[in-house]
């Protein structure tokens, strides 16, 4: 496997831009791709802001930031990924959309390139199956916000090779992250455990056991978490939480993963959390 020098990141949303930032700061050439030029402009701004926040705490110098920004290239043309040694996709959580992307990436990238998905719950084995290199396909799941959170969850598909796993692990470590490894079953490790907690918080609210503020304060102060589960759900996106719960429910076949009707109703009403201005809480 070739040494990783150039990284392609597909999708310039919160996760994709955070991953591109990590790659650029840690010395890699980065292509950040999004079909929407506005998303690329927003990503560049959010990366600059995040880097300045880190600089204001003395964690990065202006020289490092300047060099990182020079290594970051934005594009809307997948052909630019021809030089990439490693690709991470962070596009919409739709299996069909991701499979279409993997077909294209398989055609365009070098035969030696590793294709990673930042999916939070979709099967890596199924994504790999649409490529001619399933042994070089892997899950590389960053936590939100990627520049701050210390974990990367690596998921081995049924065909993922040891070489691909080792290269992905050492890349995550170059980004300063600690790695955990999961087999390819719905929700992997983090979401399999986190989403039932968030779902239970919704049931606690839905059945009138407590107010949203008390549920969050109870878990935040009572179990030393930075955010309560409802606040965290708004941060992740209620639509994202719902879709992960549905993947858990379908994939593991246990009724305990069935999403709370209140969560479903919020998403139906367009209350998707912070990004939509209202979720469990009102941010407007």
Q: Coil, strand, or helix at residue 283?
A: coil
148 contributes a contact to ligand CAA by CB under 6 A? yes
Catalytic residue among 153, 182, 186, 249: 153
Pick one of 60, 69, 108, 145: the residue that binds ligand CAA (CB under 6 A): 145
For ligand CAA, give the closer residue by CB, 208 or 226: 226
Q: Six-digit token pair at 232?
A: 């965290």
144 contributes a contact to ligand CAA by CB under 6 A? yes
For ligand CAA, give the closer residue by CB, 22 or 114: 22
226 contributes a contact to ligand CAA by CB under 6 A? yes
Q: Whole-angstrom Cα distance, residue 75 to residue 96? A: 23
Q: Is 132 a catalytic residue?
A: no
Number of residues lying near ligand CAA (CB under 6 A): 19
Catalytic residue among 17, 93, 118, 141: 141
Residues in the chain, total? 284
Pick one of 38, 57, 79, 284: the residue that binds ligand CAA (CB under 6 A): 57
Q: Six-digit token pair at 238?
A: 């209620």
Question: Which are the contacts of 273, defined by CB distance < 8 A and separation ≥ 6?
Answer: 233, 234, 235, 236, 237, 238, 239, 279, 280
Handedness of CA 162, 148, 186, 78 (dihedral sign): negative
Q: Six-digit token pair at 47?
A: 């990366």
Handedness of CA 237, 90, 58, 53 (dihedral sign): negative
Question: Which are the contacts of 269, defined by CB distance < 8 A and separation ≥ 6?
Answer: none
Q: Is 153 a catalytic residue?
A: yes
CB of 122 to ligand CAA, least distance (A): 11
Q: What count of Cα atoms within 13 Å lies in the side-chain half-sphere of residue 56?
A: 6
68 contributes a contact to ligand CAA by CB under 6 A? no
For ligand CAA, give the closer residue by CB, 190 or 217: 190
172 contributes a contact to ligand CAA by CB under 6 A? no
Q: Six-digit token pair at 44?
A: 């560049």
Q: Whole-angstrom Cα distance, residue 261 to residue 245? A: 12
253 contributes a contact to ligand CAA by CB under 6 A? no
Q: Is 120 a catalytic residue?
A: yes
Residues that bind ligand CAA (CB under 6 A): 50, 53-54, 57, 120, 143-145, 147-149, 190-191, 194, 226-227, 232, 236, 240
Question: What residues are annotated to the active site?
Answer: 120, 141, 153, 191
């Amino acid at each position: 496997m070739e040494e990783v020098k150039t990284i392609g990141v597909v999708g310039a949303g919160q996760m994709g831009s955070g991953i591109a930032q990590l790659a650029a700061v840690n010395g890699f050439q980065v292509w950040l791709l999004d079909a929407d030029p506005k998303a690329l402009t927003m990503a560049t701004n959010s990366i600059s802001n995040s880097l300045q926040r880190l600089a204001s705490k003395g964690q990065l110098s202006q020289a490092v930031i300047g060099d990182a920004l020079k290594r970051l290239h934005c594009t809307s043309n997948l052909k630019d990924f021809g030089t990439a040694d490693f690709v991470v996709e962070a596009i919409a959580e739709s299996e069909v959309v991701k499979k279409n992307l993997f077909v294209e990436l398989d055609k365009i990238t070098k035969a030696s390139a590793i294709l990673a998905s930042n999916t939070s719950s979709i099967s890596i084995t199924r994504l790999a199956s649409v490529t001619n290199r399933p042994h070089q396909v892997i899950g590389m799941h960053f936590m939100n916000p990627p520049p701050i959170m210390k974990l990367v969850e690596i998921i081995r598909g049924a065909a993922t090779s040891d070489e691909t796993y080792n290269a992905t692990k050492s890349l995550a470590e170059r980004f300063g992250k600690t790695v955990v490894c999961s087999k390819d079953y719905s929700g992997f490790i983090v979401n399999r455990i986190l989403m039932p907690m968030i779902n239970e918080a919704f049931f606690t609210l839905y059945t009138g056991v407590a107010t949203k503020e008390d549920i969050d304060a109870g878990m935040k102060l009572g179990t030393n978490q930075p955010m309560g589960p409802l606040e965290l759900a708004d941060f992740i996106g209620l639509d994202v939480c719902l879709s992960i719960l549905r993947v858990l429910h379908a994939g593991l076949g246990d009724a305990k993963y069935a999403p709370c009707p209140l969560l479903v109703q919020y998403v139906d009403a367009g209350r998707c959390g912070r990004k939509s201005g209202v979720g469990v809480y009102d941010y407007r």
